[in-house]
Structure 1
Amino acid sequence: MPPSHATDRWTSARHGLPKAYGSTDLIVLGVGVMIGAGIFSLAGRQAATMAGPGVILSFMIAGITSLLVAFCFAELASAMPTSGSAYTFTYVIFGEVWAWIVGWALLLELLLAVATVARAWSLYAAQMLTDLGVSLSGPLTGMVGKEEGFDLFALFILVALTAVVALGARIGLRALWIIVIAKLLAVGAVIVIGATHFDQRNLAAIPVPATPATGDADTLHSPLLGIVFGQTGAFGWFGIFAASAAITFAYIGFDVVATAAEESEDAPRSIPKGIIRGLILTTVVYIAVALVMVGMTPYNKIDPSAPLANAFRQAGEGFMVHIINIGAVLGLTTVILVLLVGLTRVMFSMARDGLIPRSLSTINRSYHSPTRVTLLIGGLAILLAEFVPVLTLEPLVVIGALFVFVTVAGGVIRMRRTMPDLPRGFRTPLSPGVPIASIAACLWLMVNLQVVTWLYFIIWMSFGVLVYLMYGRRNSVLAGARPVAELPAVVPPDSGFRGRHRR
């Protein structure tokens, strides 16, 4: 499918998205989704259980891997500035079947992430109230801050943010700016005050790789790479790489920025800047917090359940616990908000192509937003969060994202060969070296995920193939269910829109 077909055919009032984001807004969008509560817990948890002080290297490895992939996303988004991100890129470059597979992986990544983060939001909100001395009595006691079962807080945040997204991008953007600024102030306080208690001797305590006793290794819950090489313990280089795979969850979200391309001003240039600058800022902040965490407390004395909070308590800075709780709640709020926006745009694009019901691609005339698909996504996220133990399925988000990253990197290589003259607002440096390195790094992180994660992922993707064969293939635009000629277009393919952005 030609790129102009993807970018120009859906600009009518019924199916087009209005402009809402400037270049700075896109950076805030990326920071909003990448910096969540994990910034206060992930480094400590991985240091205590998997990598020791080497967790700093783990963050660097995950950050560099994400940056390599971000370059690839930036090029494709600059060439095809339309809603749908990796799904649309794959549709143009590899065709409908592979696009469906990538879209299905995106649904796994983003929908499960929304439900998981909503559960985490409830846990942090309940802890924040407890630390502030607010007691929840009566029927509320067993209905908030739970890891499984019905949770009122998770329901509340999903209903509230689904409503915000349904009301339009501009309303959500205003809320996002306010919350992102507030949570960055909280993170800054953690870094500055934590640095005053930094002890470099804690970085020198290198743990000895741990190997489980014979017969104790759990094959399903061991890294795939560890099974191949016979190393299933924590710490050492295997521990550092295993932690990198888990930490990748923290960086997931820069790809969501690409889903806003259709709604962005000067998208061929602003989207690459938003993706790359947002990711670099996030990486620096994460590494700074990781340094503070392992510098404040020896890795073998870190409490994985609340690492930073307990570290500040031991340092005599008890008031920082409230800052951390507030920052975590604010951080998770923006993560859910941006994930909902991204998932809405992916499903919106799939509906426009007929792979899921086309009625979901209708734009609400009052709010200028795809309200139908937004409400559907909110409902699915609520069902997942309330009835599925999503906190145990976090690695599925990672493997889904890494699978998409591999496809996007491969798409850059193929597009350079098949569409060399296509105008781009950004070009991946040192291509094909960077895309190849991206693929290798993502595959390396994937094989460091647990065997059970791979099994669940294979089951999900197999189910997706069945859904495509039973519905998508028969109802897609390319199958002739709705001829493309019937679809109005405001911007004709030869209007010169792309030519103005040629480098």
Structure 2
Amino acid sequence: MLKQILRKKPIQPHAHTGLKKCLTAFDLALLGIGGAIGTGIFVLTGIAAATQSGPAVVISFIIAGIAAGFAALSYAELSSSVGGSGSAYGYSYIAFGEFTAWMMGWMLLLEYGVGAAAVANGWAGYFVNTATNLGFHMPEHLTKAPVLGGSINLPAFAIIWILTLLLMVGVKASARANNIMVIIKLSTIVTFILLSIGHINTDNWQPFTPFGWFETLDNGKNIGVLAGASLVFFAYFGFDAVSTAAEECKNPQRDLPIGLIASLLFCTIIYIIVSGTLTGVVPYTELNTSSPVAYALTKLGYHWSSTLVATGVIAGLITVLLVLLYGLTRILFAMSRDGLISPVFSEVNPDRQTPSKIILMCGIVVSIVAGFIPLGELAETVNIGTLASFIMVCIGVIRLRVTHPNLERPFKNPFNPLIPIAGVIACGGLMSFLPAETWHRFISWAIVGVVFYFVYSIHHSNLRSSS
């Protein structure tokens, strides 16, 4: 079976596929930053501090960052040697075979698809509030899903379509838009730090670990620094979208590792500084709010800051959405090319050099979910799908070192196999701290994926048809 896979998907990729090769290491780093810095820093920092970690939310971010760092080093090795569109899906195909790759792709669809719809809902809330503050009042029935008493969440529906059209224009135009919005949201973060750092009161950091390290309450809720780490891991789930851009890189062997590692290091430093500053200027008990950064600045007397922060959040969440939709389309493009979903979706528009049909399909599905379904806590399931994909990437590095020791690896993990083994342990540990309800959703999604594979994919697979 492995020989068949290698014939169909040779481990010397980056062949011409019709996608335009135009992204640089700088573009990739900003792609990762655009995907990672968003909901995690503007919303979850305060929630995690108030309900799970206290001031030790800084430690939660460090723990989550270390786990993501092990995965990033594994991603860097595979992306430089295996590459191809599809991220962990493509790597799993080479390392483990078709069924495991299908399940990994299925989990990535959960990460990117549900994540995009969830972020679109969050973006819509900020957009409506900002519009109201500026004197523009949207009819309430156009801001809520039907089950919440409305007709449609029109802002969430509309933003998905705007970004879908942008992606159809071309990846370079999308990258330019992402770069501009990343600069806007980073400016917002810098402004917050400069305004707040002089007001830090170290008394607010006491007690540092009010919820302990880990405890499960009678209601099933997990609290503590480790539970907080599993929650704020959401802040890291976008950076792996860098690896989905392999076939559109000018020099993937060099640029992908740089983009992956640079974006993760930058984001981790920002998370540590912001979470430490936030809990230093405001008691952690007051941070259970949807906009903790704006709340902190308002409490310090900077009342004009709410609009500034809202602008940064709106720009920030747009970049997250753009990166998630981009990653989703490239994963499905790779799965379609392998025959696991309809081959219609792997067709590339010859003029724009983009997979227009799969982009359009993603826009239709995600916009409907975002506009008509309130996702609520379903977004938490994104974390478990991300952690599962990170674990498979780490295991893939170990397996390919054994099965293909002579494979050219422009980037090699130091201390192999300790780094990927540590990644498996760290990500697996964070998965164990997630609530039982999240595991139930994850298992249900996996069962649906298994059924789809045996009903459709196994009968249309290019690998099976060539055997």
TM-score range, shorter chain: over 0.9
Once the two structures are superposed, the pairs formed by residues 207-222 of structure 1 within 5 Å of their partners are: 208-209=210-211, 217-219=218-220, 222=221
Deviations 1:284-319 (A, max 9, x none): 111111011101111123342332222211110111
CA contact (8 A) 2:158 2:367 kept: no
- Relative to 1, partners in 2 of residues 1:192 and 1:383: Cα closer, same or farther, differing over 3 Å? same
What's the % identity of the aligned pairs? Answer: 37
CA distance in 2 between counterparts of 1:192 and 1:362 reads: 48
| CA deviations over 1:296-352 (Å, ceiling 9, x no partner) | 111123342332222211110111111110110000000010111111110000000
2:6 maps to 2
Cα distance in 2, alignment partners of residues 262 and 443 from structure 1: 30
Tell me the amino acid that sits aligned with residue 204 of structure 1.
Q
Change in 2 beyond 3 A, CA 1:243/1:9: closer
Deviation (angstroms), 1:78: 0.4
Contact preservation (8 Å) 1:127, 1:145: no
Partner-residue secondary structure (3-state), 1:470: helix
2:137 maps to 1:136: yes
Q: State the shift of 1:209 in Å.
A: 3.6
* 1:428 Cα deviation from its structure 2 partner: 1.2
1:264 to 249, 252, 257: 249
Matched, 1:312 2:297: yes
Give the superposition deviation at 1:391.
Answer: 2.9
Per the alignment, residue 360 of structure 1 pairs with 345
Contact 1:48/1:299 (<8 A) preserved: yes
Cross-structure match for 1:98? 100
Alpha-carbon distance between aligned partners in 1 of 2:24 and 2:7, rounded to the nearest angstrom: 23
1:44-70 per-residue CA deviation (whole Å, 9 max, x = no partner) reads: 111111111110100111111101110
- Structure 1, unaligned runs of 5 or more: 224-233, 485-503
Q: Which amino acid aligns with 2:387?
A: L
SS state at 1:191 partner: helix
- Is residue 444 from structure 1 mapped to residue 452 from structure 2 by the alignment? no
The AA in structure 2 aligned to 1:296 is: V
- Take 2:378 and 2:11, find their aligned partners in 1: how far apart are those partners? 35
Are the equivalent residues in 2 in contact too, given 1:37–1:329 (CA < 8 A)?
no
Any unmatched runs of 5+ in structure 2?
A: none
How many residues matched? Answer: 460
Which residue does 1:384 correspond to in 2?
A: 369
Normalised by the length of structure 2, the TM-score is 0.94
State the alpha-carbon separation in 1 of the partners of residues 54 and 419 from structure 2. 30
Q: Secondary structure at the match of 1:26?
A: helix
The secondary structure found in structure 2 opposite 1:196 is: helix
Taking structure 1 as the reference length, what is the TM-score of the superposition? 0.88
1:83 match: secondary structure: coil
Distance 1:66 1:41 in 2: 20
Does residue 164 (structure 1) correspond to residue 149 (structure 2)? The answer is: no
Cα contact 1:7–1:82 (8 A) shared by 2:
no
Inter-CA distance 289–22: structure 2 relative to 1 (3 Å threshold): same
Distance in 1, Cα, partners of 2:11 & 2:180 = 32
SS of residue in 2 equivalent to 1:431: coil
Which residue is equivalent to 1:123? 125
Structure 1 distance, partners of 2:418, 2:249, is 29
CA deviations 1:212-249 (Å, max 9, x no partner) are xx9x8224xx34xxxxxxxxxx3xxxx11111001011
Distance 1:189 1:208, change over 3 A: closer
* 1:487 corresponds to: none
Name 2:40's counterpart in structure 1: 38
Q: Tell me what 1:338 maps to.
A: 323
* Shift, 1:42, TM fit: 1.6
Describe the SS at the equivalent of 1:39. helix
Structural RMSD (CA): 2.2
Paired residue type of 1:2: L
Q: What's the offset of the Cα at 1:144?
A: 2.4
Query: Does the CA contact (< 8 Å) of 1:361 and 1:370 recur in 2?
Result: yes
